[in-house]
Structure 1
């Protein structure tokens, strides 16, 4: 991922927080059948390994797990908030007009080689942890144990799990840091005033400074 110094996110706890707040990741690998990608919810154990370890599962019918089993390096993309930035947000537009549109966003790219497993106990632990995470905010959370045991046993036979220690990670936080503080404030205010909740979400990541 191309990351100019102004946009680099180097703080590991911040990177891990962005990973944990991304509900659906993209797992990309290359192998016998070329490039493959899967959209997967993942879990991060931030304390396992130098950069943390990712856990997930995919359908056994999905051939991508064979890439992982064969030792292919995987890229996992965590796309955070994003928003179109209009030149109209910049006070500089009125001053000299030398402005163009851009896109602001948060993203993390994590790389590593995964261990694939089919052990039912490990699979059940991953599936249960993912379920508990995403059901936790519901008034009456559903649990894997709510389903018949023999049904769950059959479902586990249809998936493979993986553990992916993050060997290297690149974080990017493109929030108009290359602009003047007045323009940064303009972007934040413009996105915050948008009717689009996605714009409003990104606006919250842009610090409010004192205009120049």
Structure 2
């Protein structure tokens, strides 16, 4: 059994509301981020993924956030999946323009610290050296939409299906969002939308993967 299937089974078992394709896409994103971390430095710590709450932890983190933050990130990941499904794509952060349809969006917990810039987020994920080989593009927020790609994906006819996602993202303070890619990993693009959790102070949000040639 390959690693994707090993991760898929506990995701599907704990989240029966997900289709097989959506659970597989979430598993693929978690594994791909860990693989990129290993590609950058095979001896460095990799991100751990909690299959029950759909949360990707920063490398080296050994504990999940507080229960209320876990529940928030779980609802955020499920809302992202629902919005993506209703927009006929697998990742709402990457959007319908992604050339692949087998990666999704996962909850992301960075924890305490200063993650107010893309560079600091990427360093926190162990991807600073990876990104320096490529390009990082930040998005300006407008209203409560976290990324330009999400604005494009949320067409007028689909906004109602993304209402929960928009509401939950609005709970984050000091939001930043960006995409990053590197020549060493071809067309793989990582999308991040994060902010500070109200009342907690830790940084959290969503991470997704798409493919652009």
Give the TM-score range, shorter chain. under 0.3
Structure whose residues are more often strand by fraction: 1
Structure of greater Rg = 1
Of structures 1 and 2, the one with the larger relative CO (CA 8 A, separation 6+) is 1
User: Would you tell me which structure has more helix in proportion to its own residues?
Assistant: 2
TM-score (structure 2 length as normaliser): 0.25
